[in-house]
Amino acid sequence: MSATLAPRVVVVSRRSELDELLARHGTRAAAAWYLRERGRDLTEVVDRHDALRAALTTVGAAIPADWRRGAVDRDDLPRFLFGPEDVVVAVGPDGLVANVAKYLDRQPVIGVDPEPGRNAGVLVRFTAGQLAGLLPAVAAGAATTRGRAMVRAALDDGQELVGLNEVYVGHASHQSARYLLAVADGGRARRERHSSSGVVIGSGTGATGWCASIARDRPGAPRPPAPEEEALCWYVREAWPSPVTGVSLTAGRLAGADRLELVAESDGLVAFADGLEADRLALSWGQRLTVDVGPRRLALVEP
């Protein structure tokens, strides 16, 4: 942290389900009717909304008065500028930490769970009430911080993006995508032309999410990496066998300097990270995308 500039705490959150219902239906009565017709009760939604608001209030009160502060909604992350001295506090589910991670470069991130017991707690490791005692240690560099590996996807025109959990490459509508896949791992170079519903390349953190659900149905799936390991796992989704497309090169691991390359052979292909589809790279026919372990790491504060 700078000796002359007070730390800035940036609180990241996302709209609650109640917020989204009200934006769609206008009133609580209309939202209650909508839910009731689908066998749900507005009370649960209100309780979760109130838990999030209470956590955000507690977090705000925990920030020292002489520190700078900022706030950003998940939907605005692509337009928000983080500074190197920021301390980032993500208040929400585990996925919110992944959403903000791609916009950071080693700034410490504190995951706050507004509903302990409801979230898995893989990335949101603290309650709002613990923040007041934690922030001074984080600002002083005395808190326990673990560096988590991230996935990088780079186009041959210089554009790139990173993700904490995974990068998806495929058709924007998730229909069949055609591409040439090349994998360089362990000194071997392998290639295969595919028609599939896309490729998912995940980190050790992402191995507990989307990659885990894919691997569960794959006998002999590669061992997922640990969260801090400089390695990735990758899976081709629903590869289609035909006279010109194969199904033998559909899963593996990348470590160290290993990389996966994909050359688009159809239009409409995209790459996005951690479910943020609006913040994506677009692949034109013939463009090459390279995916590997990125140089940036998430600095996640741990208990």
Domains 8-143 and 150-295 share a fold: no
Class of the CATH domain delimited by 8-143: alpha beta
pLDDT of residue 2: 46
Classified as helix, coil or strand, 246 is coil
For the chain, 303 residues long, the average pLDDT of each consecutive 10-residue run is: 77 97 96 95 95 98 96 94 96 94 94 92 95 96 94 96 95 92 85 96 90 86 89 95 96 92 95 91 96 93 95
pLDDT of residue 45: 95
pLDDT of residue 3: 54
pLDDT of residue 257: 87
Q: Are 166 and 232 in contact (CB under 8 A)?
A: no
pTM of the prediction? 0.87
pLDDT of residue 239: 95
Classified as helix, coil or strand, 19 is helix
User: Phi/psi at 199 (nearest 5 deg)?
Assistant: -125, 135
Residue with tokens 């090459």: 288
Residue boundaries of the structural domains of the chain: 8-143, 150-295
For residue 157, what are its two tokens? 């025109």
Pick among 3.20.20.70, 2.60.200.30, 3.10.20.90, 3.30.50.10: CATH of 150-295: 2.60.200.30
Give the whole-angstrom CA distance, residue 200 versus residue 169: 7
